[in-house]
Amino acid sequence: MSYHLTVNGTATEVAVPGMRRLLDVLREDLGLTGSKEGCGEGECGACTVLIDGAVAVSCLVPVCQVDAAVITTVEGLATPTTGLSSLQQAFLETGGAQCGICTPGMLLSGQAFLDSGAEPTDDAIREAIAGNLCRCTGYTKIVEAVALAAGRRDETGA
Amino acid sequence: MTIAARPGRAVGAPLRREGPAKLTGTALYTDDLVFPGGWYGTTIRSTEPRARLVAIDLDPAFDWSRVAVVTADDIPGDNVVASIAADQPILVPVGGEIRHQAEPVALLAAADRETLREARLRVRLRTEALPPVFDPLASTVEFARYDLAKGDVDAGLASADLVVQGTYRVGHQEQLYIENNAMIAVPRAGGGVIVHGSLQCPYYVHKALKRGLRIGSEQAQVVQAETGGGFGGKEEYPSMIGLHAALLALRTQRPVRMIYDRHEDLAATTKRHPAIVTHRTGVMRDGRVVAQDIDLVLDGGAYTTLTPVVLSRATIHAGGPYDIPNVRIRGRAVMTNTPPNGAFRGFGAPQSEFAAETQLNRVAEAIGMSPLDVRRRNVYRLGGITPTQQVLRGGVAGEEVLERAAEASEFDRVRVRTAESRGRRSPRDRTARGIGLALAWHGAGFTGSGEAKMGSVVSVELSGDGVVRILTASTEMGQGTKTIFPQLVAAELGLPIEAVEMAPQDTALVPDSGPTVASRTAMVVGGMTIQAARRLREAVEGRTGRPFATSYRDDAADHGATRIDQAFEPYPGVGFDDATYTGDAYPAFGWAAAVAEVEVDLDTFEVAVRSIVAVDDVGRVIHPVLCEGQVEGGTLQAVGYATIEEIKLLDGRYLNDRLQTYLIPTALDAPRIETILVESPFAGVPHGAKGVGELPMDVGAPAVVAAIHDATGAWIHDLPATPERIMAALVGIDPPGPPGISTVSPRRAADGDTER
Ligand code: FES
Ligand code: FES
């Protein structure tokens, strides 16, 4: 079977079995290794991507379910022209990434939260990243990073 | 402000050097590396806790021509994973003894995962069961033993107003780095292998490869990939996996990937040692502790691994940060038929200091003194003498971290409030709040003569094309090594941090700077890095007569490359006698205090840790953001240890060996953490840093347990403080079984084949 995906703005077609995990399609067929595998069973969130803007763990999604979908991975956040996204920049400044293995997934959950326009309270941010495990940071600086990016968004009205 | 002038203190905190790569998904972790033509490897493991391996049967109906099979017979060198002792095999040989569940027995590799999966099902291990030992107290095999004594314990106990006794038990804890263990071996053109992997200690793997494969130093090349967390869990087991991948690569003459999934990582790799600690404490009515009699048993699991060193740290720290005149500490580590335990942040100290702190809180309660005052009374001060007869000559900050934590958390005030609400509690109340305090010390760097024996080397070079480069085997796995080393060298040379490069952690390029463990990177290796930079500066300035920063490029052009190799030089006045186990156990100690506030659900007995004030004396802060990050991360690991992280075992096998069943705290479970960094420097290194990685791990759990007591009145002696244990303590029913010890299935019990 062949499936049509728009990944980070680029339309692609992959010819793979329909039950192949989206995570493997991204990492192995498309060479986008930014999405990580920490458990393969939906628990850690390291494989988090956005599917049509919604947060999803790509290790539990067979590619047949995302035919014609728009996928965003960590590779789609920064652009060559504008550099790091505002959230990535905030992570860099606050120290939200330590070993970095949870970071791609965290960024996408954080980005979905920012895109939702929700009020960036401490509790709301924690709720938004509750599906992403981080063993390094104690989450403090990740929460700070999301809040910082949200603050800048609100300031600039962007 | 003197901050900018301090050696090692950068002007402003630079951003994490490899941060952008990690944030954009371009940082390459092991599983992200592509090697065309590579095969996939897998490990066949035992499914019994103890047995004789009679045969490895390969199903003749299966087409084995597509699969590479490696057994112990194929090992060219010694069938030993080189570590402290030579007892752990790379693969159990036929005729040999399986000593634990999930022990490696054979290796398979194939071109694709499906073939490999099928092949796995066609391997049968024929075994003869042997009786396993699960109870450490029943074990007759001792890996190590240390006895420490100071003063006269019996006389001290006899003179005390009150003697308090207690036994504390802690179970396994999994490091749970989010990146599983992963190694890829690639055959080298000139013989031997290159191993790329997720690892803390390139030269440990290097040594293991040389011995197991019987190859020379040049032929064993180890390259660290970006590493997604370690916490001690990638200190030793990567040697095993590296050997496995290398054996398959040499057999197939192809790259072979050994990428563990979470289940295998949890089932097979090392955990924090379970411990049983018994205290007898003699105390006077005025709060002076006059005697500590401590007995400590660590469960090492099936092989020696790093257990003797974990035990020595556990033993030395077992009394806690208190200057007690009469102390006896007896520490033993024993063998059980469970997967070997190993390094995990804190390295024995979190176990023994949980016991020490909980015991001290019970002592304070027994004499009606506040937990804060009993600590003020007994904490080490300058000139204090430890159980190894070490005189604390500098950098003693126990009092300071204690007072800062008490102040920042308003400990006394909150405690009055929680006591009032405890007094007023009615059966209608659904929750109870409590506050708890803990204090700890943590020896910086290796124990005893470890550092002197290691003989580490760091190099700083000025290349012929004018680039300053640091060459060290110290690995980055989240702490910020690649940021703080350039910071230290740049400050010494008067350069902007961007002008200093880090060579990759590749044994073909960098010298052996020792392992990235024991919080030694910032203090020991960082100190050597500064020394090397200083010598480089002197050499260049001697030639050019101008400051380094303005002359090094000219010097490189005129004079060519200069490389300084800096070997570890023992710190002046620091000495340890291995024979008597006395002297300066550590060149310096870091000090930590934590105050936890919890809310206990009185229906479900679940504990929510609301906030933690963490005060840590790290000697000198090199990079405030990275340093705080270490404290916050370590604090949350300690909260997990205190409340939810437990491994259950059946017949010596970890039962909850998946991420669905082994739980760690999420962002919602995590407390608000307030970090306060204290600087009480170590005079033996130019920058004064004492390390930070492990400190917060020692205090979190006892602070949480003290807070649970403050909320409910129940003392929890066993970690984790699960709802079952809290309910048992409050309701007076039998607690669930002790943590860390395997239960035996009815079949096995009926066979009577368990030595208990
Ligand atoms: S790998 Fe998908 S949730 Fe863990
Ligand atoms: S930064 Fe290491 S797991 Fe989050």
Q: Does B496 touch chain A (CB under 8 A)?
A: no
The values of phi and psi at residue B8, to 5°, are 85, -15
pLDDT at position A154 is 87
Per DSSP, the residues of B155-191 read HHHHH-SEEEEEEEEE-------SSPPEEEEEE-TTS
The interface residues of chain A toward chain B in range 10-49, judged by CB-CB distance below 8 A, are: 27, 31-41, 43-44, 46
Please, where in chain A does CATH 1.10.150.120 lie?
86-156
pLDDT at position B191 is 92
Which residues of B are less than 8 Å from A73 in CB distance?
25
pLDDT at position A157 is 62
pLDDT at position B472 is 97
Which residues of A are less than 8 Å from B478 in CB distance?
98-100, 136
Residue A129 has pLDDT above 80, yes or no: yes
CATH architecture of B33-132+176-268: 2-Layer Sandwich (3.30)
Q: Please, are residues B204 and B235 in contact by the beta-carbon 8 Å criterion?
A: yes
User: Does A38 contact B626 at a Cβ distance shorter than 8 Å?
Assistant: no
For testing contact with chain B, the best of A8, A79, A136 (most B CBs within 10 A): A136
Give the right CATH number for B142-173+271-446+583-755 from 3.30.365.10, 3.60.21.10, 3.40.720.10, 3.40.630.10. 3.30.365.10
Range of weakest confidence among B3-17, B137-151, B413-427: B3-17
Residue B1 has pLDDT above 50, yes or no: no
- Give the largest Cα separation in chain A, rounded: 47
User: Does A100 contact B673 at a Cβ distance shorter than 8 Å?
Assistant: no
Over residues B466-481, the mean pLDDT reads: 96
Alpha carbon of A103 to ligand 2 centroid (Å): 6
Place of tokens 């024993």: B334
Q: Does residue B244 sit in helix, strand or coil? A: helix
Alpha carbon of A19 to ligand 1 centroid (Å): 16
Q: Which ligand does the CA of A104 lie closest to?
A: 2
Q: Please, are residues B451 and B524 in contact by the beta-carbon 8 Å criterion?
A: yes
Residue B10 has pLDDT above 70, yes or no: no
Q: Return the best residue to mutate from A43, A73, A134 for the ligand 1 pocket (most ligand atoms within 8 A of CB).
A: A43
**Partner-chain residue, chosen from B18, B632, B658, that has the shortest CB–CB distance to A140:** B632
Examine the predicted complex and report whether its ipTM is higher than 0.90.
yes
Q: Is A137 in the pocket of ligand 2 (CB under 6 A)?
A: yes
User: Does B178 contact A101 at a Cβ distance shorter than 8 Å?
Assistant: yes
What is the per-residue pLDDT across B50-63, written as a single tens digit (0 to 9) for each?
999 999 999 999 99
Which residues of A are less than 8 Å from B22 in CB distance?
97, 99-100, 103
What is the per-residue pLDDT across B65-112, written as a single tens digit (0 to 9) for each?
999 999 999 999 999 997 889 999 999 999 999 999 999 999 999 999
Beta-sheet pairing, B607-617 with B672-678 = parallel
| Helix segments in chain A, DSSP class H | 22-24, 86-94, 103-116, 122-128, 140-156
For chain A, the residue count is: 158
pLDDT at position A79 is 86
Angle at B306 between CA B304 and CA B311, to 5 degrees: 95
Q: Which ligand does the CA of A23 lie closest to?
A: 1
- Nearest residue by C-alpha to atom 4 in ligand 2: A134
What is the per-residue pLDDT across B218-270, written as a single tens digit (0 to 9) for each?
999 999 999 999 999 999 999 999 999 999 999 999 999 999 999 999 999 99
Establish, for the pair of chains A and B, how many residue pairs have beta carbons separated by less than 8 Å: 171
For testing contact with chain A, the best of B17, B18, B23 (most A CBs within 10 A): B23
Q: Which helix (H) or strand (E) holds B693?
A: none
Helix, strand, coil shares, percent, chain B, to 5: 30, 25, 45
Chain B residue with Cα closest to A107: B23
What is the per-residue pLDDT across A100-118, written as a single tens digit (0 to 9) for each?
999 999 999 999 999 999 9
CA distance B476 to chain A (A): 8
User: Does B228 contact A99 at a Cβ distance shorter than 8 Å?
Assistant: yes
Please, where in chain B does CATH 3.30.365.10 lie?
33-132+176-268, 142-173+271-446+583-755, 456-567
What is the per-residue pLDDT across B70-82, written as a single tens digit (0 to 9) for each?
999 999 999 999 7
The interface residues of chain B toward chain A in range 166-185, judged by CB-CB distance below 8 A, are: 175-180
pLDDT at position B12 is 59
> Top-level CATH class of B456-567?
alpha beta
Residue B623 has pLDDT above 80, yes or no: yes
Q: Please, are residues B326 and B289 in contact by the beta-carbon 8 Å criterion?
A: no
Q: Does B25 touch chain A (CB under 8 A)?
A: yes
Per DSSP, the residues of B364-426 read HHHTT--HHHHHHHHB--TT-B-TT--B--S---HHHHHHHHHHHHTHHHHHHHHHHHHHT--
Return the number of other C-beta atoms located less than 10 Å from residue A157's C-beta: 5
**Domain spanning A86-156: which superfamily?**
[2Fe-2S]-binding domain (1.10.150.120)
- For residues B499 and B693, what is the distance between their CA atoms, to the nearest angstrom? 27
The interface residues of chain A toward chain B in range 90-149, judged by CB-CB distance below 8 A, are: 91-95, 97-104, 107, 122, 125-127, 129-143
What is the per-residue pLDDT across B528-572, written as a single tens digit (0 to 9) for each?
999 999 999 999 999 999 999 999 999 999 999 999 999 999 999
Mean confidence (pLDDT) of chain B: 95
Which residues of B are less than 8 Å from A139 in CB distance?
632, 636, 667, 670
Place of tokens 């990944």: A7
CATH architecture of A2-76: Roll (3.10)
Residue B57 to residues B119, B125, B178: CA-CA distances in angstroms?
12, 6, 35
What is the per-residue pLDDT across A29-87, written as a single tens digit (0 to 9) for each?
999 999 999 999 999 999 999 999 999 999 999 999 999 999 999 999 998 888 999 99
pLDDT at position B273 is 98
Please, where in chain A does CATH 3.10.20.30 lie?
2-76
- Nearest residue by C-alpha to atom 3 in ligand 1: A42
